[in-house]
Amino acid sequence: MSIYVTGNSHVGALAQGFASLKTKPDDMKIFALGSGAHELTEFAERQGDQVVMRNPDYAKNLFAQTGLKGVGQNHVWVFVMGSHNSRILRGHFWRNAAPSTLQMVGKRPVSEGLLTAMIEGDQEKIRDFLSDVKRVGARFLVAACPPTRRDRFCDEQGIPVEVLRYVNGRACDAFFQWVTEQEIPLVRPPEECIDENGFLRPEFTKFKTASGSPDPHHANAAYGELMTSRIIKAVRDAYPDVWKLH
């Protein structure tokens, strides 16, 4: 039985950090299914006792890394998805708009109902996927994506800090609450990586890609090392019977 840590591109930091750990399970593998952009689509479906990937990229990468066509009961899974909110935040909408709760003068007010609809629409297919994984009886956890980066949205796009903090916080809280209500084990980001506004601290930020171009939203290996340590502990706590095999 293997432990597979997978999801969107944020697993890259986890893979880099995992490589630096001195003590780690031999049978844990970290790999990306593909772009988080596909999380808005029906990227998977339940077929009998497993959840099969419908998205071609996800299906290809899952099979290449595991030899499996779907998620089932034979392994432990950690899914990194659901709390990366760039789809809600990207663009320039929030530069000129703000949640009505904040009562910001000169900004287009966005009602709490509309904000809730935006968040639920963004998370809908991810929640469907996780619900299906639960239905087939798989052993699994959800690992949060790294905290949102202030530099991209505030410094580059001009979104006010209080708007980013509120919208991002509402989205993360909604997802974490849903996961908790579903009684799915949840691994939150390390507190030492989060600043007073809930954003990723600069020292845990990846500023350049491997090719040298600017990296807009990922964390670095230092974050990955801390987070994978938390994931390993969470797997051990959630599934002690499986952990004995490692």
Q: Provide the residue ranges of all domains of the chain, joining segments of one domain with +.
A: 3-85+122-158+172-243
Please give the mean pLDDT across all residues of the chain. 93
The string of pLDDT tens digits covering residues 63-122 is 999 999 999 999 999 999 999 899 999 878 999 999 999 999 999 999 999 999 999 999
Which pairs count as long-range contacts for 49-54, CB under 8 Å and 24+ apart, including other chains?
49/73, 49/136, 49/137, 50/136, 51/129, 51/132, 51/133, 51/136, 51/138
* Closest residue by Cα to residue 79 from 29, 130, 152, 116: 130
**What is the model's pTM?**
0.94
Instruction: Read off the tokens for 18.
Output: 């995992």
Domain at 3-85+122-158+172-243: CATH architecture? 3-Layer(aba) Sandwich (3.40)
The string of pLDDT tens digits covering residues 65-75 is 999 999 999 99
The residue type of 41 is: T
pLDDT value of residue 216? 77
CA separation (Å) from 202 to 88, 133, 152, 194, 219? 22, 35, 12, 9, 9
Q: Are 194 and 139 in contact (CB under 8 A)?
A: no
* Closest residue by Cα to residue 3 from 231, 189, 188: 231
pLDDT value of residue 243? 61
The string of pLDDT tens digits covering residues 1-38 is 899 999 999 999 999 999 999 888 888 999 999 999 99
